[in-house]
Amino acid sequence: MYVTLRNFAEDVFQDTKPLVRSVMDGYNVCIFAYGQTGSGKTYTMSGPGGESTKEFGINQLALNDLFLLSDERKDIMSYKIHVQMVEIYNEQIRDLLADDPLLTKYPFVVISVV
């Protein structure tokens, strides 16, 4: 059988979907990939970087599902979703969502704007 990112990512996501959806019940969830350099962790989690939903990795599939579920329940529940994406490489932790390069390395500095 020929395995593509789409059916692999979709298969993995379907296995983790109940866990991901437990966020909507108030649980904290962490999805991570572990393996040697070059084994496809980033590709599996983030996809090849295309705009099409057919190229979504696990991260995008999970977030898309959470936002769709949130929208379905908007009349009965209001959700506040926080996302953190970090990379651990060579014993260094980096915040992958930080805008400022100075804030990408651990310990992270949280700036609160009111």
Q: Residues within the annotated binding site for ATP?
A: 35-42
Q: Is the dihedral of CA 21, 23, 27, 30 positive or negative?
A: positive
Burial 50-71 (b: 16+ CB within 10 A, else e): eeeeebbbbbbbbeebbeebbe
Q: Indicate the annotated binding residues.
A: 35-42
3-state secondary structure of 89: strand
